[in-house]
Chains A and B, each alone.
Chain A
């Protein structure tokens, strides 16, 4: 199984004081695919993301990325392994322009001491331009990132993540706050990132239309526990999932 799944989460538990945010959660993210994670507000989706990328220590369980146990690794180390996440509240470097935001997002897997003082590289600049074009921000590339609209900042954050050449990209609600007319374009780009760049995607999403369109396999969390998983159509018709969303719990 392990050669098929790139992330394997087994029985992880995370509590904050008395609040159990995740309880014995297990899941697998298929290599090269698009996996979704849904669940009502407060069901522990973002906590699960944070646990996987090493944002906080977990109370129990195991997290393996490419067959390596990473549950004790720190955020930077995990990112340098090629497991990257974007934030629900978009985070970009506001006082720097878009190109600079891209240039600082290059992969750092083998970065040594002297790489800190590297001069601007033409190839990297061209790659930054291409990716900005890919997300549709090329015309705005010299603007300060903080001056972009919220939706544009989301696109920039996505482009920065691609610049990092991750093996797996974990997206926390990529379409939240984005103009509905732009959502289709974003879904298309996410699919292309998966197909053309070969990046495995693991996506938290509230918008059902988006996740049903995007993911091949969906996990559903409720009250910190894994409620169900399966293909989009299975999840759509699962009575437990419907109940959870309608508040029958």
Chain B
């Protein structure tokens, strides 16, 4: 894999306290984005996801393939107010989200997700039904909070 400007760290944060949400913005000039989460959720297992451009409308959907160590399944959410990406708990978990072609103003936006956490391993695809370029990303748990010490890093991938 080539080193250099193709894959650039944009922003990183290590939570100094429990947080209900984490926001990224100011990431223009790339083709794709990659968000790496490594951390825990306060209190217990919880789903979490992302919203774009402060859109809290029912414009998100998500389809998951998952396993819990004994059985596998698939589920989906539709017309949701958040793109469900992950399931995490009080044990250390990881999520990697690839946002493809996030800055175009023609197509609805999709992202591919790999998540380990809360006793599940999963792969997901999420959709935001908007043609707007993504200018901000807010990650938030549904019920609890991201716990102290959790880390988020956003990388930009430039095609040229």
- A and B: partners? no
Chain B interface (Cβ < 8 Å from any Cβ of A)? none
